[in-house]
C-alpha cells in the first residue's frame, strides 16, 4: 500500500514517465514509447490495492468473529474467574460504547504474554517444522513450498518496524527488521532485540530450505519427464536389433 501510494503521488505530480506534458518532442516520445505502458501499470497498481483491501476486510471480519467467540466463551466462565467480563476491572468501555466509541477489544481479557507477534512466530515455527518433516519423507512437496513461503512472510511481519517504514518510505524500510544497531530502544513492536535476532536467523534458515526444496522439485520434474523419452528410444533400437524368428513350415500331405 505504501508503494502504491508513493506511485500515485509521483503520478499526480508528473514524475512518472509519460505523465508530465513537457515539450512536444518529449510528449511524442512518451506517446510512442514508455507512455503506452502507463495504463497497464496503473491497472496493475489498482489490482494490487483492491486485493489488499479485500484481504484486509476479510481479516477484519475474521477478527470480529473471533472477538465475539471470545466474549461468548468468557461469559461462560465462573463469575469469580479473573477472565470473566465482570471482573476485568475496566468499566470505561461501557461509557465509550454508550458514546459510540466502542473498540474491537471491548471487555476481552487476554492472558499476559500473548501477543500477535508471539502467535505468528509460533505458527510460523510449527509450519516450517511440519514442512521440513514432509520434505524429508518426500510428502506433498508443493505444500511444503507454500508452508515455507507462508512462514517466511509471517516472520517478516514480526520483524517489520512500522515506524521506520512510514518515516523512510517504501523501499527503504525493507531491512528495518534486520538492522537494529542504530536503534536506542531494545523493544520494537513488542519484540525484544534478542528475539528479533533469533527470528532473523530463523528466516534465513527457512529461506535456505526453500531454495533447496525448489532445486529438488526442479530436479525431480526434470527426471520424471526424461525416462519416457529414453525408454522409447531404447525400445526402438532393441526392436531393430532383435533377430527375426523363422516361420514354422508345416508339411502337408500331397494328395496321391
Q: What is the pLDDT of residues 137-151, one digit of tens each?
A: 999 999 999 999 999
Q: For residue 146, tell me if it sits in a domain.
A: yes
DSSP structure string for 4-36: HHHHHHHHHTT-STTTS---HHHHHHHHHTGGG
Highest mean pLDDT among 47-51, 71-75, 185-189: 47-51
What mean pLDDT value characterizes the chain?
A: 72
Is 87 a domain residue? Answer: no
Residues 60 and 127 in one domain: no
Is position 35 within any domain? yes
Our count of domains for the chain comes to 2
Q: Are the C-beta atoms of residues 85 and 79 closer than 8 Å to each other? A: no
Same domain for 50 and 133, yes or no, is no
Q: Are 188 and 161 in contact (CB under 8 A)?
A: yes
Find out whether 90 and 109 touch, Cβ atoms under 8 Å: no
Domain extent for 39: 2-76
Q: What is the CATH number of the domain that holds 174?
A: 1.20.58
Residue from 186, 165, 191, 189 nearest 176 by CA: 165
CB 112 within 8 A of CB 119: no
31 domain residue, yes or no: yes
pLDDT tens for residues 94-140? 434 433 334 445 556 666 667 788 889 999 999 999 999 999 999 99
Cβ atoms of residues 108 and 70 within 8 Å = yes
| Predicted structure pTM score | 0.53
Pair (68, 133) in one structural domain = no
Q: Same domain, yes or no, for 121 and 215? A: yes
Task: Look at residue 196 and tell me if it is in a domain.
Answer: yes
- Measured CA distances, 157 to 210, 215, 242 (Å): 18, 26, 65
Give pLDDT tens digits for 170-191.
445 444 444 444 444 566 666 7
Residue ending a domain, choose from 76, 101, 131: 76
| In a domain? residue 252 | no
Whether 82 is in a domain gets the answer no
> Does the residue 159 lie in any domain?
yes
* Geometric angle at alpha carbon 243, from 239 and 244, rounded to 5°: 90
Amino acid at each position: 500500500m505504501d508503494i502504491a501510494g508513493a506511485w500515485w503521488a509521483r503520478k499526480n505530480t508528473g514524475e512518472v514517465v509519460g505523465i508530465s506534458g513537457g515539450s512536444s518532442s518529449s510528449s511524442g516520445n512518451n506517446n510512442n514509447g514508455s507512455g503506452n505502458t502507463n495504463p497497464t501499470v496503473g491497472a496493475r497498481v489498482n489490482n494490487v490495492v483492491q486485493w489488499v483491501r479485500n484481504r484486509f476486510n476479510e481479516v477484519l471480519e475474521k477478527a470480529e468473529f473471533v472477538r465475539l467467540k471470545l466474549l461468548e466463551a468468557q461469559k461462560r466462565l465462573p463469575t469469580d474467574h479473573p477472565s470473566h467480563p465482570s471482573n476485568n476491572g475496566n468499566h470505561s468501555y461501557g461509557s465509550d460504547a454508550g458514546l459510540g466509541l466502542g473498540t474491537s477489544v471491548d471487555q476481552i481479557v487476554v492472558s499476559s504474554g500473548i501477543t500477535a507477534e508471539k502467535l505468528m512466530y509460533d505458527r510460523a515455527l510449527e509450519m516450517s517444522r511440519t514442512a521440513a518433516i514432509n520434505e524429508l519423507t518426500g510428502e506433498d512437496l508443493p505444500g511444503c513450498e507454500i508452508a515455507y513461503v507462508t512462514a517466511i512472510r509471517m516472520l517478516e511481519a514480526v520483524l517489520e518496524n512500522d515506524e521506520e517504514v512510514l518515516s523512510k518510505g517504501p523501499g527503504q524500510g525493507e531491512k528495518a527488521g534486520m538492522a537494529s544497531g542504530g536503534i536506542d530502544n531494545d523493544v520494537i513492536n513488542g519484540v525484544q532485540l534478542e528475539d528479533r535476532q533469533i527470528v532473523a536467523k530463523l528466516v534465513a534458515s527457512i529461506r535456505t530450505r526453500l531454495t533447496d526444496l525448489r532445486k529438488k522439485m526442479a530436479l525431480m520434474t526434470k527426471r520424471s519427464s526424461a525416462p519416457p523419452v529414453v525408454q522409447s528410444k531404447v525400445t526402438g533400437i532393441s526392436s531393430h536389433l532383435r533377430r527375426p524368428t523363422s516361420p514354422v513350415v508345416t508339411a502337408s500331405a500331397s494328395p496321391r
